Structure 1
Amino acid sequence: MRIKWFSLVRITGLILVLTYHFFQTKFTGGFIGVDVFFTFSGFLITALMVDEFVKANDFKLMAFYKRRFYRIVPPLFISVLVVLPLTYLIDHDFVTGIGKQIAAALSFTTNYFEIATSGSYENKFIPHLFVHTWSLAVEMHFYIIWGIIAFIIAKISRRYSQDISSVAVFRSLLAAVATILAIGSFMTMALGAIGLKDFSPVYFSSVTHSFPFFIGCVLGVMTGIKNHIPAYKRVTARVNAPIAAGIMAVSFMPLISLGYVMNFDSIVTYQGGMVLAAVLAGTMIYGARLLHDHTPNINEPRWATFLADVSYSVYLYHWPLYVIFSHMMPNTMAAIVTTIVSIILSAISYYILEPVIAGKEAHAFGQTFTWQQLQWPVLIVAAVLTVNLGAVVKSAPQVSSLEQSLWVGGIYQDVDKITTTHDAVLAAVAPKGKDGAVKGIPAGVSIIGDSVTLGTRTYLGAHVANSSIDAEGDRTMNLAYQVMMNQQRSHILREYVVICIGTNALDDYAVQTTKLVNDLAPGHKLIFMTPYNQHATASWNSTKSAVLERQLAKKYNFITIADWDKAAAANPAIFQGTDGVHFAGRHAGDVLYAQVMNQGLKEAKDKPAKPGK
């Protein structure tokens, strides 16, 4: 029995996820689309469990697992095999460690793989092609555990029900256990998020992120598919189609609004935001269930049922395809191409391949297909794609060129810290003036940067004369300020101070940048290396940071701009196939970065130093 209007719930979840991945800076909360899917899955699975128990007075665990296997596993295998040949279109760095990613995806452990490897759902230099399968892992863990719980409850209900029916016992126990697990899961997320800067561990974990499933489970017990509790029947009798449609609308609109206002890095998201999304999803499901009962003579639009049918496979395809296409074409075009190709591949998978793999007849394009008809073409293509999978995995680098550059830069960074400590000791015993200050400011250049600088520090150190470099990944302006002040207090901050920060600009970038300018000691010349992000828009903090730095250079004559933002934008080739921020150790990028910095230092040479107060 297919419930009409449930398609709109699935489509809502899909829209939220796609817009989040395609336009992450504008639709910052679209990740709640996963919570919509989770809630719907919990509802549907539990409602079907109730129907099965009502019909047979039993729940067959292995039959349940078999149905889940054929619905989830074949599409996943197919998507992995189909996507990998397309990786030849982009930089080889994007298949770094791909074997481990595939193993995690196919074993439904991607969520814990990402936690173990310190993966982030939002910010990775080289995004994992199958990071989105973390949600399948959580879903599969839910099915395994909830199936066992339902099996045990079914046995208890049959054995110990006396004064009330076994169905009532089954429903009551399912609802009670689901409620307890929903509360427990949410509390572990809410408490576990306290003190975190990166929320990925509580986001990915099956323990902390399973509460949407159990919220859906409670709803599934209440409404069911074919069998309902008396309270639901009373509600159905009191509402009509417009009211049911209104319930859907008043839950849909806040879900879309949350997609705009929620943020992955906000603790509010984990201490109430996602629970609210799950409750709204449940309300929308409830409204759809009511609307089904009150529209017996109205059919769902064909486009809606089609998109609902292929939504799972579209989810599987869209992320790796988007990663590939977004590094081949502008973002909007990549989003369009990704959506079209995902829908086509998903339709072939859902309507033809999945049924015949399960031993059923497939019906598509007015034709009927059977395994006997398709077995040889399917087996040959599968064999070719499997061989390709092995070739991609075997040739995949274990460390990307960017990671290698950062690793080498980190080694030099550690070595230089020894030299910096040595210089600080010498400065401490150097002759002092009457006012206690060290006589003179050390000549040369102090470069303070983030991961972009760290990735090119070997080349930079050899091509920027008399320079010292202190660079670190994920460094923000407030951290750069601390480095500058520590060097200044140790009297090792050199005459020219180059600040290469801004890509990781936080909301307080203006306050921190102004603070750095104000607290720089007299006698120094300040050079801002403007940040660059190929995907940034005018609303991004990194873009605003560059604008502020240019304004400060006009206001203070001791500040110079080394315009990396402008130079990098004029040379897009050095970012081809990268994340659009780092040039992955490419020589052309190293050369350009050093040239821009040296040009800034050349211009600063003819400017005055910061005057005394």
Structure 2
Amino acid sequence: MSLRRPTAPGLDGVRAVAVLLVVLFHVAPAWLPGGYVGVDVFFVLSGFLITTVLMEDAARAQHFDLPSFWVRRARRLVPAATLMIVVVAALTLVVGRDTGAGLRWQVLGGLTWTSNWFQVAQGWAYAEQGEPPVLNHLWSLGIEEQFYVVWPALLALGLLVMSRRRLAGAMLALALVSAALMGATYDAGDPTRAYVGTDTHVFGLLIGGALALAKVPHLLRSDRSPPARRTRLVMTGLGVTGLGVVVAYAVLVSWSGPVTYRGGLLVASLASGAVVVAAANRTAFAAALSLAPLRWVGARSYGIYLWHWPLIVLATRIAPPDRAVEAGVLAVGASVAVAAASYRFVEMPMRMDGIGLTLRRWVSPIERLVAHRRRPAYRWVLAVAVSAAVLVGAVTAVGTAPDESRLQASLLHGQRLLAGGAGEPVAPDPEAAAGGAQVPATCRTVGTSVRVSAFGDSVLVAAAPELLGTMARLRATARVGWQYEDVAAAVRKAAARGVLGPVVLIGTGTNGLVDRDDLDRLVRRQLAGHEVVLVSPYVPGRSWQKGALSSVRRVARDHDAVRLADWHGAVAGRDALLAADRVHPNERGARLYTRLVRESLGSC
């Protein structure tokens, strides 16, 4: 019997579709808000392929050779990922701008294939836009590798006590349990735990494995005859429908919404199962996915996935905010080129010849030069020098990386100050009860003689140390990640309790649109009789900046009692006043923020 494995070319096309969805989501999430579903397509395909390979190998050898399987998985995954981690770590030293923050834990998680659990333990928000970790994407590889370690042994044991059909049913039951856990652990404030946990997101791999165990014919099975023409037509219809569901999901369903976690991803995974089965047979659907460009991308999809995210993070950290999409596109182009080189020189040699033999082959030319005392060729000197520099840079980057960025430290400090007594007052304000301030609110009196109630998002949190240091009578309620709705609700709550100061400062629009009509109602009703200062938002490169800025400026123009602190106009293009994310103020920016707030009430 031939040892050559049967192939299904259409599955490379499935890989291509999956990685293209993920890449587009990372480059321009506003254009494809549900592109993250590509990861779930990968999960279903991986579960299907791994289980099929295990069953076929067991059929040939009459037993499960688990050590051989794990060695093949290591050859396939470890060298390319390790190379990427080392190079990216070194690049953080070159790029700077706090790209190395938290690198030590990211590298450790990546090298041990536990990145998802490190993200949970460290409290990293998966959807962090300002300063995303450069190795954030390794969470999915962690789930896959953990599955590869555990599942083969469970499969072998399971088949000792039950049939393939019953084991497939048990896997589907476990998939439902996993999906239910995802829904149960969903937190609207930050769904990271529900999304990256192995227990909550393993259902795609289980669905794929169940399909491999079920009596479904496909090209990778040696014990099944090809399906009849009618069956292939049905498979084509299911594949087209499944792909339509996946694409619709990618266009319509955002990452953070409840639909994603309460059945959405489960439905997308089941649809992906239909895509995989149709692509694994001789169907018209599989023929379309077997086109040469798709197969080329699919074969290199692992490398593209490895490299695209860190290169996007590094490129967008360097580029101006209004060129973030262009920088991301260039980074994707670079990742495809690097992935092609990795596929040729790293992945395929390691898979075919093994890690040890490939490494010896790389080193042997240098050994021969040393043994024969010949003058080394220039290219070998350059290769050794670059390799040594990258390795030294990576070790240095990991050894010197701070646990948190300067912005993270600033936000934590500001949040602690607000939580330590500089928040919303607990007693009604006698000045407000008397109908307003006895002392006019001016640049000199605001926050000193005249009390200020401030409400806002993370920009206000970052500016809090300077605001509180300058204005002793300022009390602030602000949270990282707050949308306009959160800020408005906090203002209304304080107004209902009668604890607003004569001057009310509102800073919002950093994380999303500002509802102009609602802000207008807030000013006319709850804030009637108060001096109101609105801070114009500055969030370059974000799709909502124009709308949020327009809303704030319009309300400020429409009301005599509303002043505009033009933060946007003051800092646009002045990166020296901003943190590495080019949104939040640094220490100098916080001083400017405070001055703008005071000067909005009159010249000092």
Which of the five TM-score ranges fits, normalised by the shorter chain? Answer: 0.7 to 0.9
Q: Structure 1 residues 147, 382: closer, same or farther in 2, change over 3 A?
A: farther
**Match among 388, 392, 397 for residue 402 of structure 2:** 397
1:91 counterpart = 2:93: no
Q: Structure 1 residues 3, 460: closer, same or farther in 2, change over 3 A?
A: same
Unmatched segments (≥5 aa) in structure 2: 1-5, 367-379, 440-448
Residues 173-212 of structure 1 aligned to structure 2 (within 5 Å): 173-193=166-186, 196-212=188-204
Equivalents in 2 of 1:355, 1:106: separation in Å? 20
Q: Tell me the matched-pair count.
A: 568
SS of the residue corresponding to residue 207 of structure 1 reads helix
Aligned to 2:59: 54
1:448 counterpart = 2:442: no
Aligned to 2:564: 561
**Match among 135, 138, 154 for residue 149 of structure 1:** 154
Tell me how large the CA RMSD over aligned residues is: 3.4
TM-score (normalised: structure 1): 0.83
Amino acid at match of 2:317: H
Equivalents in 2 of 1:265, 1:590: separation in Å? 30
Aligned to 1:480: 487
How far does residue 69 in structure 1 lie from its aligned partner after superposition?
1.1
Aligned to 1:520: 526
Equivalents in 2 of 1:335, 1:439: separation in Å? 51
**Match among 578, 600, 606 for residue 580 of structure 2:** 578
Deviations 1:103-159 (A, max 9, x none): 0111111111111222222125421111110001110111122111122245557xx
Equivalents in 2 of 1:261, 1:595: separation in Å? 42
How far does residue 319 in structure 1 lie from its aligned partner after superposition?
0.8
Unmatched segments (≥5 aa) in structure 1: 158-168, 363-368, 606-613
Instruction: Say if 1:464 and 1:598, in contact at 8 Å, map to a contact too.
Output: no
How far does residue 27 in structure 1 lie from its aligned partner after superposition?
1.2
Equivalents in 2 of 1:397, 1:299: separation in Å? 45
Equivalents in 1 of 2:554, 2:296: separation in Å? 53
**Match among 275, 283, 287 for residue 278 of structure 2:** 287
Equivalents in 2 of 1:205, 1:591: separation in Å? 41
Equivalents in 2 of 1:38, 1:28: separation in Å? 19
Aligned to 2:310: 320
Deviations 1:493-514 (A, max 9, x none): 33332211221347x8446524
How far does residue 402 in structure 1 lie from its aligned partner after superposition?
1.1
Aligned to 2:228: 236
SS of the residue corresponding to residue 447 of structure 1 reads strand
How far does residue 572 in structure 1 lie from its aligned partner after superposition?
4.4
Instruction: Say if 2:40 and 2:204, in contact at 8 Å, map to a contact too.
Output: yes
Deviations 1:522-542 (A, max 9, x none): 4311121022211212xx2x5
Amino acid at match of 2:201: H
Instruction: Say if 1:178 and 1:215, in contact at 8 Å, map to a contact too.
Output: yes
Equivalents in 2 of 1:460, 1:337: separation in Å? 40
**Match among 245, 253, 257 for residue 254 of structure 1:** 245
Instruction: Say if 1:446 and 1:493, in contact at 8 Å, map to a contact too.
Output: yes
Aligned to 1:164: none
Equivalents in 2 of 1:371, 1:323: separation in Å? 34
Instruction: Say if 2:97 and 2:317, in contact at 8 Å, map to a contact too.
Output: no
How far does residue 305 in structure 1 lie from its aligned partner after superposition?
2.5
Q: Structure 1 residues 48, 236: closer, same or farther in 2, change over 3 A?
A: farther
Equivalents in 1 of 2:433, 2:318: separation in Å? 59
1:24 counterpart = 2:13: no
Equivalents in 1 of 2:250, 2:78: separation in Å? 29
Residues 303-382 of structure 1 aligned to structure 2 (within 5 Å): 303-329=293-319, 330-357=323-350, 360=353, 371-375=360-364, 376=366, 382=387
Q: Structure 1 residues 219, 521: closer, same or farther in 2, change over 3 A?
A: closer
TM-score (normalised: structure 2): 0.84
Deviations 1:225-259 (A, max 9, x none): 442676x84x433256x876555443323322211
Equivalents in 1 of 2:423, 2:119: separation in Å? 34
SS of the residue corresponding to residue 520 of structure 1 reads coil
Instruction: Say if 1:525 and 1:559, in contact at 8 Å, map to a contact too.
Output: yes
Q: Percent of pairs identical after alignment? A: 25
Q: Structure 1 residues 223, 42: closer, same or farther in 2, change over 3 A?
A: farther
Instruction: Say if 2:178 and 2:202, in contact at 8 Å, map to a contact too.
Output: yes
